[in-house]
A and B are shown apart, each in its own frame.
Chain A
Amino acid sequence: MHRVVITGAGAVSSLGADLSSNFKSLSEGKSGISKIEFLNSDRLSIKIGGQIKNYNPDIHFTKQEKSIYDKFTQFALIATKQAVLSSGWEFQKNDNSDIGVILGTAGGGLQTQDENYRQVYEEGKNRVHPLIVPKLMNNAAASNVSIKFNVQGPSFTIASACSSSNHAMGQAFNLIRSGVIKAAITGGSESMLCFGGIKAWEGLRIMSKEACRPFCKNRDGMVQGEGAAIFIFENYKDAKKRGANILAEVAGFSMTSDAIDIVNPSKKGAARAMIGALKDAKFNPEDVEYINAHGTGTLANDKTECAAIKEVFKSHANKLMISSTKSMHGHLIGGTGAVELLGCLLALNKQIIAPTINFIKKDPDCDLDIVPNIARQKNVKCVISNSFAFGGTNAVIALKKGP
């Protein structure tokens, strides 16, 4: 089994247009949530989201490229360019048949679907742009990354709702670890902030109209966000040989299913996923110093997640730090695991634990150290990042300080 390390990272979200601005916002406990602005947003009862404001695709893409790239693909490409640049990897020079692209997304080209359905059903148009199929397909981001960066190994997309990105990164880890590929461009992207995207969620009655307050007694639901985070995962021996800058080691990964309910989480399923990640990473529970929680800000998730953490970590649960960065960037659904990995990298590289912001009142059901409102300095070596999705599909990734 090969060791796997992270040698590049890039991001674009409501917290910033690149990795360093995302790190800065996370460190400062800055909120990226604002009033949403798009067609027909006045018809929605939910008026807030982690929308990337003042986004100008023209600075990144040609007119032709814009016509075939849905926003979720655009975000993935922007973040990939940053990640590739930061890794020092020169993709264009080789055939790269032993490198893969594995990305997560839940909605894929939902904005493209929304716009075009509007045209045919609302406006009664009889013609749509010929390339909407390759634009809206779930694998559009992964495929366009493979095309743009000449990656000729396996390229595919994983869609498992809120666990998509963790699953994608876990697959990248497993493929490198087992020697199938030697590196991967991995992470995820999401852009569902459009009328249809939010309207569909409203009916579930789990979204907040005010703010995302994970673990807070006053929490009243999730807030959706958009964006992408992309990483270069690489075989450690190769990374060391080429003198790459190592951001972290991917220590372990676990995936489980609750097999109980299509929306409600299960303590047992979540606990099994965390135990599995610890076992795979060869971490003792006491080794883990920080957990980037799933922490959606819903009544159900936060209570269940805290109970699961207590079950897994026992008395150590009171000593470790847990934060939900969703409080700042929102819930990016299929892209969320990737953007949340930034919180882990911030901890391992800058010794900063991002806070859970918007915290007002303690909830006895979430009485753990959730790093309320203000970031903390701590030199940590072992961290995990949780994703617990609709459908009861769980994915937990474990990282440790780079060798």
Chain B
Amino acid sequence: MSESVKYKIIKILSEQTLLDPSEIKDNLSLEDLGIDSLALVEIVFSIEETFNITIPFNANDPTNSTFDISNVSSIVSAVENLVNSASGKN
């Protein structure tokens, strides 16, 4: 389950950044990946569409949210949590 969430997110990031999936490592930040604010809202949209979840993200207050966008790994974890909540799993 985890692998497929991570795989899908890396695919989304790869499409947005035009980087090869192998270059999108866990510890890289948005800045490291060259993702600016416009690209970020597009990524948030793609993730929501892919997983049918609602991400509590406000561009005016990006750090003050339960959705941790610090790096690739934190994004994957945050999405996993939302997917699990949405499907009623704990």
Residues of chain A touching chain B, judged by Cβ–Cβ distance below 8 Å, are: 45, 203-206, 208, 219-221, 261-264, 297-300
Contacts and interface: CB of A to CB of B under 8 A. Distances in A.
Nearest to A264: B37
A221 B60 contact: yes
B3 interface: no
Interface size class of B (residues with CB under 8 A): 10 to 19
B19 interface: no
A205 B38 contact: no
Interface of B: 37-38, 41, 44-45, 54, 57-61
Nearest to A302: B60
B54 A205 contact: no
A45 B38 CA distance: 20
B38 A219 contact: no
Main SS class of interface, A = loop
Contacts of B59: 204-206, 221, 298-299
A299 B61 contact: yes
A206 B60 contact: yes
A221 B61 CA distance: 9
Nearest to A299: B60
A45 B54 CA distance: 10
Contact of B38 (A220, A262, A297, A298): A262
Nearest to A221: B60
A98 B28 CA distance: 63
25 contacts: A45-B54, A203-B45, A204-B41, A205-B41, A205-B44, A205-B57, A205-B58, A205-B59, A205-B60, A206-B59, A206-B60, A219-B60, A220-B61, A221-B59, A221-B60, A261-B38, A262-B38, A263-B38, A264-B37, A298-B59, A298-B60, A299-B60, A299-B61, A300-B37, A300-B60
Contacts of B44: 205
Given A204-B41, A205-B59, A299-B61, 15 more contacts: A204-B59, A205-B57, A205-B60, A219-B60, A221-B58, A262-B38, A263-B37, A263-B38, A264-B37, A297-B60, A298-B60, A299-B59, A299-B60, A300-B37, A300-B60
A219 B37 CA distance: 17
Main SS class of interface, B = loop
Contacts of A219: 60
Nearest to B54: A45
A219 B59 CA distance: 11
A263 B44 CA distance: 17
A300 B38 CA distance: 12
Contacts of B58: 205-206, 208, 220-221
B20 to A, nearest CB: 27
Nearest to B55: A205
B60 to A, nearest CB: 4
A220 B60 contact: yes
A300 B60 CA distance: 7
Contacts of B45: 203
Contacts of B61: 220, 299
Nearest to B41: A205
Pairs A-B, 10 closest by C-beta atoms: A299-B60, A205-B59, A220-B60, A221-B60, A220-B61, A205-B41, A206-B59, A298-B60, A220-B58, A205-B57
Contacts of A220: 58, 60-61
B58 to A, nearest CB: 5
A230 to B, nearest CB: 32
Nearest to B57: A205
Contacts of A206: 58-60
B37 to A, nearest CB: 7
A204 B59 CA distance: 8
A299 B58 CA distance: 10
A208 B60 CA distance: 9
Most chain-B Cβ atoms within 10 A of its Cβ — which of A205, A221, A297, A300?
A205
A12 to B, nearest CB: 29
A250 B25 CA distance: 57
A261 B37 CA distance: 11
Contacts of A204: 41, 59
B89 to A, nearest CB: 24
A205 B58 CA distance: 5
